[in-house]
A and B are shown apart, each in its own frame.
Chain A
Amino acid sequence: NFLLTQPHSVSESPGKTVTISCTRSGGTIASNYVQWYQQRPGSSPTTVIFEDNQRPSGVPDRFSGSIDSPSNSASLTISRLQTEDEADYYCQSYDGNIRVFGGGTKLTVL
């Protein structure tokens, strides 16, 4: 099995850019696609990035995803932050028959 480690929380001001990391331990980050989900309080998660860097229709281009092999990590970057971006964000990947979520990062836009 493997683990995905995220920072517990991040905060940034409206209009700025924030990056959330997701570090894989056990296996190679680039070997399996990474997804990112946004979860607002009281709601189900929704996808903001899939297959490392693809945005579903309806997700603004302020959201982007990337993979960094040297650090064995994935990143979600949100630019031009808006108050509505305040939520929990989870990375997710897989290895064979196992699917794993990161522990989640609480984004505060203040």
Chain B
Amino acid sequence: QVQLQESGPGLVKPSETLFLTCNVSGYSITRGYNWAWIRQSPGKGLEWIGSIYHSGRTFDNPVLKSRLTMSVDTTKNQFSLKITSVTAADTAMYYCAREAIFGVAHFDSWGQGTLVTVSS
């Protein structure tokens, strides 16, 4: 059974870069799914950040696209997220998830989430 686990700093200073990694176990990230990042600001709803295929092809939220970089490391079976020039608005719980493809876009497995606070 697939398991996803986010990791990264819980506190990032304004204007700096947020970097998170999602470690995937129980399933190879090269096996036909997208791998996604989703965030949830405190007390708010879910916001899709972007998705990446193991080839490196990405699908980005247009709102975040200019600050967003996603990558995969197939040797470590993990994928990563980088958001530059963060502000308090980027404070959120960040989830990684597996996304079924081929015309479905269903996030069928989620990590437990990691809270990132942007503050000086």
Interface residues of A (CB under 8 A from B): 1, 32-33, 35, 37, 39, 44-47, 50-51, 56, 90, 92-94, 97-104
Contacts and interface: CB of A to CB of B under 8 A. Distances in A.
Interface of B: 36, 38, 45-48, 51, 59-62, 95, 99-100, 103-108, 110-113
A98 B62 contact: yes
A44 B113 contact: yes
Nearest to B105: A94
Contacts of B111: 44
Say whether chain B's binding surface is mostly helix, strand, loop, or mixed.
Answer: strand
Nearest to A93: B105
A50 B109 CA distance: 12
Nearest to B103: A33
A44 B103 contact: no
Nearest to A50: B106
Contact of B107 (A1, A32, A92, A104): A92
A32 B64 CA distance: 23
A92 B40 CA distance: 14
A49 B45 CA distance: 18
A94 B107 CA distance: 11
Given A32-B105, A51-B104, A97 B59 contact: yes
A37 B107 contact: yes
A7 to B, nearest CB: 13
Nearest to B34: A99
Contacts of A92: 46, 48, 105, 107
